[in-house]
Each structure stands twice: as C-alpha cells, then as structure tokens.
C-alpha cells in the first residue's frame, strides 16, 4: 500500500514537472489563470514548503537544532544565479543545438548546482559542528549563517551589498511545486524506511542509537546535507522568482521564519510542516491589511497557537489518514 502511495506521489511529481516545462510564467491548464499577485503567493508558498520540509529533516526528525538555514538558501540562490546570470548565455548557446528547451535545462542545471553547492557547504559546516548538541549547535549554525551573509556582502564578484539584479524569471508554479513534491517525497520516504528510522532514533536517544549500531555522526551529517541541498533549491527558486537577491535577504530573521514554520507545523511531521508553510505564508499576506500592526498580530497568533497546540498544528496527522492507521 505504501509503495503505491509513493508511486502516486512520483507520478504526480513528474506530471508537475512536464507541466512546468510549458515554459510560461503563468499557470496553464489544468489550473485556472491566476492573477500575478495570487500566483506569486502560491510560488512563495511552494518555496516555503521546500525550505521548511528540508529544515524539518534536520530540526524535527533528527533533532539537531539548526538556525543557519538562510545561509544554505543564500548559497543556493547565489550559486544558481551565478550560473544563469554569468554563464547563462554560453550554456544557452551551447545547449540550443542539442535540446529543444534550453532555458528549462539551464534552470535545471542552475538549480542543481545551487543545491549541490549548498549540500557541500552543509557537509563542510556539519562535520565539525554536529559534534555539538542543543544550544551549542544552534549558536554555531547561527554563526555560520552570518558568516555566509558577510562573505556575500563583501564579495564584489557577487555584487557585494548591492546584490545581484536582473536574474531571469525562470521560476514557474510548476517548478516550485515540482521541487516541493520532490522534497516531500524524499523526506517522507526516507523517514518511513528502516534506514530513515535511524534519524528518529538519533533524536530520541543518541546513546541508545549508537549502542544499537547506528553511526549517529553519519546520520546527522546526512540529514544536514540533504536539508542543505533542498534549502539550496529553495534559494534557487527564490532567486529566479524575485529576480533580485541581496545578502540582507538571507539574514538571521529569514532562518527564524523557517524555524517558526517547522515548530508551528510540528517538529518531525512533514504533513504538519507543509500545512504550516501554507498557513503562515497566507497569514503573512492576509495581515497586510493591518499594516504596521502586522508583526504584532502575527506574533500574537504564534503565541496563541503555541499555547493551544504546543505539539504543532497537526503533529498526529498520520492518524487521520486511513492508510496510516495501521502503522
């Protein structure tokens, strides 16, 4: 039964992917025509799903509290923008000969490059810092995020504090939700396998996990690298959606935004975090009417939600699904 569901997810994912290759920024059939504002909210929702689901693998499933998520997003955003902006023309002319959709291929290459670059950064940061626990790890990852930002601010090749402008708008609804589906699929299948239960074991009791033959360091580093990879993808999508990135956009507060989604959705619940990403992104937009009080209302809602649902919005989502009731 489970494998059928994963198959379904895979089919849906490839459906989205082919759909997104239609090449228009606006959504086409089977979705209705959205106006630009609604479309941009939907894309933001998708990007937030990607970054929250991937952070959840680190913070929620593996229990390693990281506050440096924006750093990985920045690496992915700059990495992918570097490809499309600086090498875009060469690659396009090179590929125009071989493939029918050079722009999409270029974007795919750029996204993957950004993601992999972020994953490698994740490895480099993770291997030394994952020896630390709890608060200490949080501080180290926080520091890492700031380092990335300061480096970007001072690197003239990447625009310095002015940032990079004029990034091509490759991000479509299809791309965004294709990547979101991929993130959900990877994290979901991973955690629901015998191998992936190791992540949860590491979170629950590191000493016992180690005594049961689980290489806890390796698990933590893998979680960190996978999380970084998808944050990198989220960053790439963001860069090619907004069209302009600067280091300030990936500051500490950006990391906190994602952490808030994860905590609100329920640490370790992929479904909960996905819903929270939708709810919080929408909430952010709905509260625009309250103007300067927006952040106050936002914070109050968070406090109320945390009091009412400390375990997250739908931490026990699995029980609601008929095919999970057995497990």
Partner 1 sequence: MEEASVKLLELTDVTIRFGGLVAVSGLTFHVNPGELVGLIGPNGAGKTTVFNIITGVCPPTSGSIVFSGVSVGGQRPYQITARGISRTFQNIRLFSSLSIFDNVRTAFNLHLKNGFFGSVWRGGSFRTEEAEVRREALELLEIFGLAAYADLPCRSLSYGDQRRLEIVRALATRPKLLLLDEPAAGMNATEKLELMKLIQFTKERFGLSVLLVEHDMKVVMGICERIAVIEYGRKIAEGTPAQIQKDAKVIAAYLGEEASDARS
Rounded Cα distance, 73 and 114, in Å: 9
Beta carbon of residue 223, minimum distance to partner 1 (angstroms, whole number): 10
Question: In the set 17, 67, 222, 234, which binds partner 1 (CB under 8 A)?
Answer: 222
- Put residue 163 in one of left, alpha, beta given phi > 0 → left and psi -120 to 50 → alpha: left
Q: Which of 203, 220, 240, 254 binds partner 1 (CB under 8 A)?
A: 203
| 211 contributes a contact to partner 1 by CB under 8 A | yes
User: Is 1 near partner 1 (CB under 8 A)?
Assistant: no
Structure tokens given for 276: 């929270």
Binding mask 224-263 for partner 1 (x = CB under 8 A): --x-------------------------------------
Candidates 26, 205, 282, 304; binder of partner 1 (CB under 8 A) is 205
Distance of CA 242 to the CA centre of its chain: 16
Q: How far is the CB of 280 from partner 1 (least distance, A)?
A: 24
Task: State how far the Cα of 211 lies from the Cα of 201, in Å rounded to an integer.
Answer: 11
Binding of residue 216 to partner 1 (CB under 8 A): yes
Of 72, 64, 65, 67, give the one whose Cα is nearest residue 216.
64
Overall size of the chain counted in residues: 327
Figure out which of the listed residues 12, 22, 108, 197 binds partner 1, where binding follows CB under 8 A.
197
Closest CA to 149 of 163, 166, 129, 135: 163
Say whether residue 125 binds partner 1 (CB under 8 A).
no
Using the Cα atoms of residue 259, residue 263, residue 269 and residue 271 in order, give the sign of their dihedral: negative
Other beta carbons within 10 angstroms of residue 134's beta carbon come to 10
Separation CA 41–CA 37 (nearest Å): 6
Per-residue x/- marks for partner 1, 2-41, CB under 8 A? Answer: -x--x-----------------------------------
Number of residues that bind partner 1 (CB under 8 A): 32
Q: Does 210 interact with partner 1 (rule: CB under 8 A)?
A: yes
Cα(175)–Cα(97) distance, rounded to whole angstroms?
A: 24
Q: How many whole angstroms from its chain centre is CA 292? A: 28
Q: Which is nearer to partner 1, 85 or 119 (CB)?
A: 119
Binding site for partner 1 (CB under 8 A): 3, 6, 185-186, 189-190, 193-198, 200-201, 203-205, 207-216, 222, 226, 268, 326-327
């Amino acid at each position: 039964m489970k494998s059928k569901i994963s198959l379904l997810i895979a089919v849906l994912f490839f459906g989205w992917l082919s759909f997104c290759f239609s090449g228009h920024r606006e959504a086409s059939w089977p979705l209705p025509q959205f106006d630009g504002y609604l479309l941009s909210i939907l894309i933001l929702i998708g990007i937030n799903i990607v970054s929250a689901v991937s952070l959840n693998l680190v913070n929620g499933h593996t229990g390693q509290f990281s506050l440096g998520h924006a750093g990985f997003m920045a690496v992915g955003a700059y990495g992918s923008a570097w490809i499309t902006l600086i090498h875009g023309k060469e690659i396009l002319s090179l590929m125009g000969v071989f493939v029918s959709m050079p722009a999409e291929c270029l974007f795919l290459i750029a996204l993957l490059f950004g993601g992999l670059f972020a994953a490698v950064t994740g490895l480099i940061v993770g291997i030394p810092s994952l020896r630390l626990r709890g608060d200490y790890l949080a501080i180290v990852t926080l520091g890492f995020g700031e380092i990335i930002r300061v480096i970007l601010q001072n690197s003239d090749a990447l625009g310095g504090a002015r940032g990079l402008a004029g990034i091509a708008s490759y991000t479509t609804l299809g791309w965004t939700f294709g990547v979101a589906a991929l993130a959900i699929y990877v994290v979901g299948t991973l955690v629901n396998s015998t191998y992936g239960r190791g992540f949860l074991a590491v979170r629950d009791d590191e000493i016992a996990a180690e005594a049961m033959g689980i290489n806890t360091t390796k698990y933590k580093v893998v979680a960190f690298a996978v999380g970084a990879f998808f944050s990198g993808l989220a960053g790439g999508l963001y860069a090619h959606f907004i069209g302009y990135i600067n280091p300030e956009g990936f500051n500490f507060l950006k990391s906190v935004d994602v952490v808030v989604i994860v905590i609100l959705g329920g640490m370790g619940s992929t479904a909960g975090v996905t819903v929270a990403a939708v709810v919080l992104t929408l909430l952010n937009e709905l509260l625009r009417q309250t103007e300067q009080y927006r952040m106050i209302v936002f914070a109050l809602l968070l406090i109320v939600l945390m009091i009412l649902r400390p375990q997250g919005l739908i931490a026990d989502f699995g029980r609601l699904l008929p095919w999970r009731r057995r497990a």
